[in-house]
Structure 1
């Protein structure tokens, strides 16, 4: 690879047309500039024609100058990416569990609509996949339901998310036998969520594994479809339930004291968030902040 200092001296000489002025601009001696040009010509052939009061570039000299300009532009692009000066340009990736993803993704699209230069890349995934994707630097931001203990990950509390037991609107749920009769619609986090909520509302019951499974879906956006059709009940997050369009076909069991999961925002701890990612986090925190009074009202109602 050609020495960048030699190329810089040659480009400055071509711009100013004088070895003396080039040396002054570069804070070098005239002999040093001449030596740099000579090194390039030893590798590339004649680059310029020296005249008494001017210099003229040869075709090889013009090609070398174009090459330097391409290198300089690439250097500026690299420095711009590393400096990350513009928070409203470029791509930002975020990976989340399904329930919160249904809440987050529309707000990410709102931000993208406000900032056309921003490209949002979002993926739904369970907690283990979220952790691995952030560790592998495939996504800069992630949300998980359990705070990671990996030193490579920075985490902070992001949002509280209540769990809900959702059943068909035509059914009645008052006791454990009602759940056994209706049956459970499972999903990747279903056993864990149902275990926490049912043990709180039905203490002493046999547990979620005692319930017949009437169906399974790994698509959180479709999970309430079998519930609405009367095929079973499920346990999922409030955000996922609110995203279902046919609310009149489902009901939420009043479980008294709510079970609330804390969602943790994670990113790699070894380097700072990009300006784009910080902009996304600030936007989402404003959205979450507007929701906190509603969540507080849920807790107060349950405490009465």
Structure 2
């Protein structure tokens, strides 16, 4: 393996074009610069042609100079990734459920606008995938709806997310028969969420499966589209409802005891959060999302 000091000497010599200036620039003797070049050329062959007032790189010298610059850039990238002190550059990685993700992603982009050196990497996923991604170090931060008991993870309360019964704005919902007339817009968690919430709104109801199905979508950002068009009602977490652009076209039906889920922030317990992750959590707290940042 080539000595890193030899690489720095060669790069500086190529830039300075003179042994004396190179020695002064690096704080070395001219003899040390010459010795470094002898070591390199003994392994790589001729790298420079020495002329009285000029040094000229050979083809091998040009190739080696490109290699030296690649090594220098790789070293800078490594130092950046290892640096916990740099909160303004690098990646913030987060994996979360889709509902809260609709709100989180745009708020993190707001942070990136202020700190353009940051890169936001965010994925929507269910709880089991979130746990696996954080434990395998593919994402630094994760959000789950069930608090894990794995000793490798730290879990802290992030936010509370109530379920909401959402109907078209022009429709009135007072009785179970109103839901029967509307019909249900389903989604992957729709029936489970509706069962939990509707038992509070309409005690003794005959069950969500007795209602006519008016539509289904597995895209969290599109579930409220048929509701806004008057095709039916649905049950969603509040963050998903708040992310819908046309709030004037939908109605949150009040009534009954609330059903509130907790969201838990998780990350690895064996090492501290990066400064970038800490900056992101501070930003989210300022935006009113993170309770314990």
TM-score by length of 1: 0.73
What do the CA deviations read for 1:26-52 (whole angstroms, capped 9, x no partner)? 9xxx9x9998776545423467899xx
Written as runs of structure 1 = structure 2, the 5 A alignment for 1:127-142 is 127-142=127-142
Contact 2:183/2:213, CA 8 A, preserved across alignment: yes
Q: CA deviation at 1:234?
A: 0.7
Contact 1:47/1:57, CA 8 A, preserved across alignment: no
1 CA distance for matches of 2:49 and 2:235? 81
Alignment of 1:43 with 2:39, yes or no, is no
What's 2:212 paired with?
A: 212
What do the CA deviations read for 1:226-284 (whole angstroms, capped 9, x no partner)? 12222221111222223333334332221232111111122334443322222111101
What do the CA deviations read for 1:87-133 (whole angstroms, capped 9, x no partner)? 12233232322221222222122112211222223333333333344
1 CA distance for matches of 2:161 and 2:84? 33
What's 1:252 paired with?
A: 252
What's 1:228 paired with?
A: 228
1:221–1:62 CA distance, 2 compared to 1 (3 A): closer
What's 1:188 paired with?
A: 188
Contact 2:202/2:256, CA 8 A, preserved across alignment: no
2 CA distance for matches of 1:102 and 1:70? 39
2 CA distance for matches of 1:35 and 1:117? 41
Helix, strand or coil at the partner of 1:88:
coil
Helix, strand or coil at the partner of 2:71:
helix
What's 1:241 paired with?
A: 241
Between 173-182 and 5-14, report the one with greater CA deviation. 5-14
Alignment of 1:100 with 2:100, yes or no, is yes
1 CA distance for matches of 2:208 and 2:160? 23
Contact 2:153/2:267, CA 8 A, preserved across alignment: yes
Contact 1:159/1:288, CA 8 A, preserved across alignment: no
2 CA distance for matches of 1:225 and 1:65? 58
Number of residues of Structure 1 aligned to a counterpart in Structure 2: 283
What's 1:295 paired with?
A: none
Written as runs of structure 1 = structure 2, the 5 A alignment for 1:1-304 is 1-4=1-4, 40-45=40-45, 59=57, 67-68=67-68, 70-288=70-288
1:129–1:211 CA distance, 2 compared to 1 (3 A): farther
- Of Structure 1 and Structure 2, the greater helix share is in 1
Q: CA deviation at 1:206?
A: 3.5
2 CA distance for matches of 1:230 and 1:263? 31
1:80–1:228 CA distance, 2 compared to 1 (3 A): closer
Between 32-41 and 92-101, report the one with greater CA deviation. 32-41
Unaligned runs of 5+ residues in structure 2 are: none
Q: CA deviation at 1:186?
A: 1.0
2 CA distance for matches of 1:112 and 1:12? 36
What's 1:302 paired with?
A: none
1:192–1:59 CA distance, 2 compared to 1 (3 A): same
2 CA distance for matches of 1:94 and 1:187? 23
Q: CA deviation at 1:3?
A: 4.3
1:58–1:156 CA distance, 2 compared to 1 (3 A): same
What do the CA deviations read for 1:173-231 (whole angstroms, capped 9, x no partner)? 33334323322211122123222212233333343334332211112222122122222
Helix, strand or coil at the partner of 1:198:
helix
